[in-house]
Chain A
Amino acid sequence: MVKADDDILKTASQCRHYAMCKIDYLGTGLCPPGKRYHYVSYYPQGRMDLYAAMADNLIPVTEGLVHIAETCSLCGVCDLQCHFVTGLRPLKVMKALKDRVEDYLKAGGKPVSIASDEPLRCLRSIVGSEWATNDPAVLVTYANDPFPLADLKMPRYVVLPGTREEVAAVVRLANELGLPYAVRGNGGSVFGFVFSEGIVLDMQRMRGIVIDKDNWSAAVGPGVTSFELQQEAFRHGLRVNTAEPAATVCGNIVCTGTFSTWSYAYGTAADGFIDMEFVDARGQIFRLNDKQAPNVFAFENAVIPAPGICTEASVKLHPTSKDEDGVLVPFWDFDEAVALARELGRRRIGLAVAVLGIHYIANFMSPSKDLAGLLKDVLPETLGIRYVVFAIGDRFARESIQKLAGPVIDSGLWRTLTLGLPRLLDSEWLDLVKGFEAGRPPYEILCRPEMRPLVEAVLRPSPETLAAAVEEDLRELYTGLYSQPRFTDMTWLNMFRILSSRMSRRKHMFAFLVYVPLDRNDVINHINAEFARIAAAQGLDHDFGFLTPMDLGKRAILEYDYYIDHTDPAEREKIGRVLAEIGPWLDGLAERTKGVTFLKYVFSQGCSRKENFLYR
């Protein structure tokens, strides 16, 4: 077989497994074969892995691979979906995969037929013949993630159950056969937890959402993503506290509990659901509201297994008001930003609050990696912005924030800055803005309402202006997207979190999350400084991520991010050393400091009461 094209292979290897190609988050439609066949192998994410796997000679051309290649119509939906958040153009990989398989067949190659075996026959009798497989072309797409420290772990079978009974039957079968199993959510796992040498259960087919308005709840199947649930809630004028858009709701709750900027008002962990249904390790079904159910509400500061496979969650729905909108309060000083976030918590102002670092803001706003890089320099150097306090609230909340904080970037200015971003970075304009500076930072003058006409005259914000920052052949598509008001609507963007994957556009992101006491700036600053020191010592890119107040500003969740090229062995070694240093340091700090809990120990205990890990 001909050698893989280096450039195409590079793109394929850069797939972050964020599964944004598995949700229709741009309203442009879903990859048709993925929607039809559900296995990740049929989505662009899986096809990227397949191309890389073929280049590494990990798999032969199987019947499954031929089907996967042939079902791709090169419709191009994935190109915009992926570019919007990662900057990658997967279409060329899709085409190259098809070409390679086609060339193989044209050259007289015969697709390898993988023989069935007894366990597979049993699995198929449970879920139906279409939904269990041992074809390596499918297996390999469930065998790894960008987590750099995990090696490829090829499962023997991948199975897609359709009901809780099928899940229970698969678990019982696995026990009988002595096969290990793991449950896969929608995307991947940044810490490599979802692999098995036995059976991988992909819950893609269990996608039921039933809204119970009278009980302010939604019954959600384990294959439902945050984006889909939020979309359904939104349709009813409601909201849920959800995680990354492509993450499954059930998986996210079980894993760490859902935390987001909305956790400020809606809480986290057990705050997020009313009841949950599980299949336990023996294949028995139970609900948390059963009196005999295991006590998953307790918390143990240790790595312990999940209570079982979640087959349904009854998730809380929250009311919304028509006058909700977003506001950003810029800061130069971190402590001042934290003080405002804490104050908002104490006074119960707003619904979603976070202190964000500039890497976040720059990437959220920028449609391209290069523009984000420029903006990341300009924000502090020219505008005097190193942090922002981001908040969503009704008009009363926003008025209060403005009174407390002074100059703010309201939704109108946010839209202007976003749609005029390429001109905001024009050097002549920036030179002038710099000149505004004396005792107070230049952003203050930009935030003044009286300045708005001038800012608009300079930036000439429009979808076309913004789209000029991307490759020429994508400009029309970007113009179409940004012509939709929701793409610059801070509330919508924050509810659906479609921009958050842009964080990893430049490099794969390694997020460290720690619950912290929000009244202890010394502790928070120490944690940030230590993360920075450890990363710098290894020569890794790093940045403060966010800090979201919780429980009336008493506690917060802090994210600090490391950025690595997960395909670079040297960076892999570095991250290994970093992890070895961070674990003991944070353990010691948590032992000495009330309110500090490393999220690592909340993994698999996401159903616990937040009070049990916030106030140990």
Chain B
Amino acid sequence: MILITGGTGFLGAHLAAHLLEEGDEVILLARSKQGLSAADRVGRLLDWLGVAANRKKNVHLVEGRLEHPGLGLEPDDSALISREIDEIVHCASSTSFAERRRAEVEAVNLDGLRHVLDLAERSRCRRFHFISTAYVAGINSGHCLEELVRPAAFTNVYEETKCRAEWLASERCAKAGLRLSIYRPSIVYGHSETGRSLLFNALYYPVRTALFLKNLYETDIRERGGWRAAEMGVRLDGDGWTVMPIRIMAEDGGGVNVVPVDFFVRAFGAIRERAVDGGIFQVVNSRRTRIEDIIEYTQALFHIRGIMVCPAQDMEGKPRNALEEVFETYLEAYRPYLRDRRIFGAEKAGPILDDKGIRCPDLTFDIFKRCLDYAVQCGWGTRLFRG
């Protein structure tokens, strides 16, 4: 039996579905949230993931909280886990970048991990799969290897705590004789073939922002005289496209390293199968997507014109308007990921994936369109867990 933490999250849910599909029996650690019980949340997720009825019987649900010692489990649940689990897939994580949330990020990413490791040590579990991130590399311009690292600085508290968590997991697993596999995906987006996703941050956020602004000003033009749109230089072209003059400062090179969730799941499966002794595996894309391409895709998909990448010298001395401020703020926070020039090595993961014929697809317009169409259609994920 396999215990999955974060089983109601984006990656955890997909990994759970994959393991069920493989015939495994899983225990999902979940909690009630947003007015829904843990059972309701898991039920909805399994339906959303399309898990077959005959596989659902292999799902066991335990209610618990990662931040609590012993995961806050009922004695019976705790005993079941200790007695039955062979592997743990630890997906639960706080992905907040906000420094003001440091305490809660540490509580989930570090204390939570400690509590799961405590449980692992007193169970019959022998394999520990830890879902980390490629960005434990921190502020680093060079080649990022599949090994434990101690960067001098991090971009945010998320990176820092995930890096500290890797060391923690490594030390504790070594002592306890647990085989540890660390998986380091880059930025994960929706399913490349279906476009489906549960999470719409990172790659989705700026696109969603652009669409929000387009809708906002279009409504202003159509229903309220359009003076607020005019104030921002936004107008409708004769062909119905919206012109939004937004300058985004250009920088040399770089791009965003994104992988679709289906690729990540297949990679996880292959690595779990082949690397039984554990190790560190970077699940990344060998090619980065340029910001310019994402802008082009966004404009084409949503019938927008005017968003342009501008050389820094052209922007100097020219104040930014509100729309440019929005994107600039986003870029400030995500610059290390969007203008990334780091090379993430895949010396260990690569051969396994090659051998299994698993290749990360590039983010083409078609895939982008599928993913964004799905995002719009599902209200950017707001409906699944609505109580």
Contact = CB atoms under 8 A, between A and B. Distances in A.
Given A436-B329, A439-B97, A427 B322 contact: no
Contacts of A333: 100
Contact of B321 (A428, A438, A450): A450
A566 to B, nearest CB: 29
A476 interface: no
B319 A457 contact: no
A456 B228 CA distance: 8
A453 B228 contact: yes
B107 to A, nearest CB: 16
A53 to B, nearest CB: 41
B216 interface: yes
A435 B205 contact: yes
Nearest to B213: A454
B189 to A, nearest CB: 15
Interface in A390-440: 427-429, 431-432, 435-440
A427 B34 CA distance: 14
Contact of B326 (A427, A428, A431, A454): A454
B209 A432 contact: yes
Contact of A457 (B98, B100, B156, B220): B220
Contacts of B322: 450-455
B217 interface: yes
Interface in A44-71: none
Contacts of A332: 100
The residue in A441, A445, A457 that gathers the most chain B C-beta atoms within 10 A of its C-beta is A457
Given A454-B322, A458-B216, A439 B209 contact: no
Interface in A331-375: 332-333
A87 interface: no
Nearest to B209: A432
Interface residues of A, number: 26
B232 A384 contact: no
A333 B101 CA distance: 11
Contact of B232 (A427, A454, A455): A454
B194 interface: no
A441 to B, nearest CB: 6
A384 B228 contact: no
Given A384-B100, A454-B326, A457-B217, A438 B333 contact: yes
Contact of A437 (B97, B213, B228, B380): B97
A448 interface: yes
Nearest to B332: A438
B212 interface: yes
Contacts of A445: 325-326, 329
Given A384-B98, A438-B98, A454 B323 contact: yes
B68 interface: no
Nearest to B217: A457
B208 interface: yes
A61 B170 CA distance: 81
Interface string A146-187: 000000000000000000000000000000000000000000
Interface residues of B, number: 33
A441 B97 CA distance: 10
B98 to A, nearest CB: 5
A468 to B, nearest CB: 16
B320 interface: yes
B99 interface: yes
B201 interface: yes
B212 A438 contact: no
B330 interface: yes
Interface string B305-342: 00000000000000111110110011011100000000
Given A332-B100, A435-B201, A453-B232, A448 B332 contact: no
Contacts of A451: 322, 325-326
Nearest to B220: A457
Nearest to A441: B100
B382 interface: yes
Given A431-B380, A450-B320, A457-B217, A439 B232 contact: no
B68 to A, nearest CB: 17
Nearest to A456: B228
B333 A457 contact: no
Contacts of A428: 212, 380
B212 to A, nearest CB: 6
Contacts of A455: 322
Closest 5 CB pairs of A and B: A438-B333, A454-B322, A457-B228, A435-B205, A332-B100
Interface of B: 96-100, 156, 201, 205, 208-209, 212-213, 216-217, 220, 228-229, 231-232, 319-323, 325-326, 329-330, 332-334, 380, 382
Interface of A: 332-333, 384, 427-429, 431-432, 435-441, 445, 448, 450-458
21 contacts: A332-B100, A428-B212, A431-B380, A432-B205, A435-B201, A438-B97, A438-B98, A438-B156, A438-B333, A438-B334, A439-B333, A440-B99, A450-B322, A450-B325, A451-B322, A451-B326, A454-B326, A456-B228, A457-B220, A457-B229, A457-B231
Given A445-B329, A457-B232, 12 more contacts: A333-B100, A384-B100, A428-B380, A429-B212, A431-B208, A431-B382, A435-B205, A437-B98, A438-B332, A454-B322, A455-B322, A456-B228
